[in-house]
Amino acid sequence: MTCQPIYDSRDARYKTPYGAVASGTVVRFTLRPPRTMGFSRARLEARFESREDWTAVIPMPWTGMELGQDLFQAELDTGDYLGLVWYSFVLEGADGRKQELGPYQLTVYDGTDQPPQWFGRGVTYQLFPDRFCRSRIPDPQGMVGGRWVHQSWEEFPEYRPDQRGEIRNRDFFGGDFRGVMEKLDYLKELGVDTIYFNPIFEAAENHRYGTADYSRVDPMLGTNEDFSRLCDEAHKRGMRVMLDGVFNHTGYVSRYFNGDGFYPDVGASQSWDSPYRPWFNFIEWPKKYESWWGIYTLPAVNEGNPDYRRFIFDAEDSVVRRWLRAGADGWRLDVADELPDDFVHGIHEAARAEKSDAVVIGEVWEDGSTKVAYGVRRKHILGGHCDGLMNYPLRNAILAFFQGGGGEDFVSAMETIRENYPPFAFYSAMNSLGTHDTPRILTLLGAGGEYRDQSREWRANFRLSPRQRRRGKDLLRAASLLLFCFPGSPTVYYGDEAGMEGFEDPFNRQTYPWGHEDRELIDWFRALGALRRDHSALRDGDIRYVAGRGPVLAFTRGDKQETVLCAFNNSEEPQRLELGCLGALEPLLGRAHVDVEEGGAVMTVPPQSGAAFQVK
């Protein structure tokens, strides 16, 4: 006989409704201690974190017995509260014995804010503009930053420090908007619904995270009109465009700071009377100022400055609204956890005012419901802030599983996120295996790690051996299938579908290998895009775990129309998965076969692989 727990926050017999709740919801809690434990009293203690840690103490009367377990119940009315509630239980016996359970997390969010659903339903493609495709070799003469251009598209990015010991990121390859437009049909064939651009505004560095001028696209990419034309062409193909909003800092050589005097405007570093000077936090003007992570080329802005706020979002012609008007459909906020909550809220309000179905996605690397930055619990996903977050916890869980971790660990990690996140945030997450900030996924899976113990020169020259590449491709096919089957928007970092390799920046930012793509992987990712497009359960369905133990992981996605079963094996041996009377299974994608035995259906999943089946 299985031992039943006293409380399980993920089981409707103990807590209803499941997970995070909208403000105003009454939550019912039930404790089920065995009668043999002899508890006669119980109480609920709920600490409302954002109400100065006010704690409600609620008695839990005995309500009866069920299968040898006493039942104690209580209800918690969340009222108009928004934030985290940390709740615990205390059980007491007549003999003075006491047992405490908890604390547990309850996320209470604003249920009146209903984000658009298009982002989480579709496939996203992350595009690093300088390295995707160029229509010509640009001339950098007269552009900000003293940059230079690689003449050959196949050259390796510059990664060694200059004579001053700095890595300046001033080498460009010249990817541009016209090059992207030439490849829109290719992206459509991959099943892409949203193109997410890393920064496109004028900037001195090839990554463009040190914005120099928010009013114009970088001239190496083209013109503002080229951007709008690209958006029009994407929209004709049913694709949307998301921009990268870098609002926590600007560039040292920007129009606003003007550290090198490139711009005719009087920048913050040039005059105390500059209108831009209050935008920055000077410790000792003009040479000593706050910067992002201490990098002097990225001076941090003062997000509380009214003029800066008007410039970014609080005006009709603000940056946020202007570029949505120009054709963009949403914003991804760089280092969202370093932006004040009211600043993020202002961006959200401006975006919705300009375009009612615009989305705002935040960059957060941890569980966004519990994220603390600068001593403040962030409100990212409580409603009216971010519509979803970059789902690095999912990436971590997928990597851990396919590097030999247990299926139970994956389930535990992802059920924690599902329980803590409001449904809109869970289903609108930006899910990826790799980004511009992580090593290439094929290299990680094939090589088995980041090899930080090796020199940077060694990592620059590293290439997967044929054996490592075969292993990496097998695991990438399985990991990407999991990504495309999981709730949220599967996001492909440019070139991962073509078999690009490389460790950390800038080795993960090489040029797309046009004409030298891995055709097997291209075909696989096209099949993934079609799978996601053709099955509503993968776009909208809920998730239920079928297995999660050792090398095996399996779950279903289901909506009113259909159910899809997804199964994975991370080991080097075939694994059996007993399915019982789940139903007839029609193969959709991947390698696995099903036999009907006396006890029901049994699936055999080959080594280091995954498969998706439609349940009939």
Mark 465-479 as b/e (b = at least 16 C-beta within 10 Å): eeebbebbbbbbbbb
| 503, burial (CB in 10 Å: exposed 0-12, middle 13-18, buried 19+) | buried
- Calculate what percentage of the chain has a pLDDT beyond 70: 100
Q: How confident is the model at residue 1 (pLDDT cuts 50, 70, 90)?
A: very low
pLDDT score at 2: 56
Q: Report the percentage of the chain scoring pLDDT > 90.
A: 95
Taking all residues of the chain, what is their mean pLDDT, rounded to a whole number? 97
Render pLDDT for 117-138 as a digit per residue (tens, 0 to 9): 999 999 999 999 999 999 999 9
Model confidence over 393-431: pLDDT tens digits?
999 999 999 999 999 999 999 999 999 999 999 999 999
Structure confidence by residue, pLDDT tens digits, 297-341: 999 999 999 999 999 999 999 999 999 999 999 999 999 999 999
505-518 pLDDT, tens per residue?
A: 999 999 999 999 99
Domains, the chain, with CATH or none: 15-109 (2.60.40.10), 124-247+302-534 (3.20.20.80), 249-301 (no CATH), 541-615 (2.60.40.1180)
Q: Are 254 and 209 in contact (CB under 8 A)?
A: no
DSSP string, 521-540: HHHHHHHHHHHHHH-HHHHH
Q: Are 347 and 360 in contact (CB under 8 A)?
A: yes
Looking at residue 479, its pLDDT comes to 98
Tell whether the model's pLDDT for residue 58 goes beyond 60.
Answer: yes
pLDDT (tens digit per residue) in 171-206: 999 999 999 999 999 999 999 999 999 999 999 999
pLDDT at residue 353 is higher than 60: yes
- What confidence score (pLDDT) does residue 181 get? 98
CA gap 561, 37 in Å, rounded: 46
- Sheet containing strand 39-48, edge to edge, reads 21-22, 98-109, 83-93, 39-48, 54-59
The mean pLDDT of 549-575, rounded to a whole number, is: 97
Cα angle, residue 511 at apex, residues 510 and 512 outer, rounded to 5°:
120
Q: Would you call the peptide bond into 506 cis, given omega within 30 degrees of 0 as the criterion?
A: yes
pTM (2 d.p.): 0.97
Predicted confidence (pLDDT) at residue 3 exceeds the cutoff of 80? no
Tens of pLDDT along 45-57? 999 999 999 999 9
For the segment 350-357, the average pLDDT, to the nearest whole number, is: 98
Residue 153: predicted pLDDT: 98
Q: What is the mean pLDDT of residues 537-551?
A: 98
The least confident of 163-172, 465-474, 493-502 is 163-172
